[in-house]
A = this chain, B = another copy of it.
Amino acid sequence: MRLSKFFLPLLKENPVEAQIVSHRLMLRAGLIKQEASGLYSWLPLGLRVLDKVETIVSEELEKAGCVRLLMPTLQSTDLWKESGRYDALGKEMLRFNDRHERELLYSPTCEEMIVNIFRTFVKSYKQLPLNLFQIQWKFRDEIRPRFGVMRGREFYMKDGYSFHSSLEDATREYANMYDAYHAIFKRLGLTSIAVAADSGAIGGNLSHEFQVLAENGESQVYYDPAFDDIRDGKLNVTSEQMRELYAAADELHDPAKCPVPADKLRTARGIEVGHIFLLGTKYTDAMNVDVTDADGKPLRVQMGTYGIGVSRLLGAIIEASHDEGGIIWPENVAPYQVGLINMRANDEECTKAAEEIYSKLHLAGVETLYDDTDDSAGKKFAGMDLIGLPWQLVVGPRGVKSGVVELKNRKTGEKVEVSFAEAIERVSATTPKKLAA
Contacts and interface: CB of A to CB of B under 8 A. Distances in A.
Interface of A: 5-7, 9, 33, 35-37, 39-44, 47, 50, 59, 62, 65, 67-76, 91-92, 94, 96-99, 102, 104, 106, 113, 117, 120-122, 130, 132, 137, 139, 141, 143, 153-154, 437
Which residue of A33, A36, A47 has the most chain B CB atoms within 10 A of its CB atom?
A36
Given A5-B65, A67-B6, A76 B143 contact: no
A39 B7 contact: no
B7 A67 contact: yes
Nearest to A98: B141
Given A7-B121, A137-B137, 13 more contacts: A6-B67, A7-B69, A36-B75, A36-B76, A39-B75, A41-B72, A41-B117, A42-B70, A72-B154, A74-B106, A74-B154, A94-B96, A98-B141
A35 B98 contact: no
Given A41-B113, A143-B99, A7 B132 contact: yes
A44 B134 CA distance: 10
B72 A141 contact: no
Contacts of A42: 69-71
Contacts of A70: 41-42, 47, 50
A22 B92 CA distance: 38
A7 B132 CA distance: 8
The 8 residue pairs across chains A and B that have the minimum distance between CB atoms: A96-B96, A9-B121, A42-B70, A36-B76, A39-B72, A91-B99, A41-B71, A62-B437
A35 B68 contact: no
Nearest to A130: B7
Contacts of A39: 72, 74-76
Nearest to A70: B42
Contact of A141 (B59, B71, B99): B99
A75 to B, nearest CB: 6
A117 to B, nearest CB: 6
Nearest to A97: B96
Contacts of A50: 70
Nearest to A96: B96
A33 B134 CA distance: 15
Nearest to A94: B98
B69 A43 contact: yes
Contacts of A143: 99
B72 A35 contact: yes
Given A42-B69, A43-B69, A68-B47, A74 B139 contact: yes
B69 A35 contact: no
Contacts of A139: 74
A5 B36 CA distance: 42
5 contacts: A9-B120, A9-B121, A39-B72, A47-B70, A74-B106
A33 to B, nearest CB: 6
Contacts of A35: 71-72, 75-76, 113
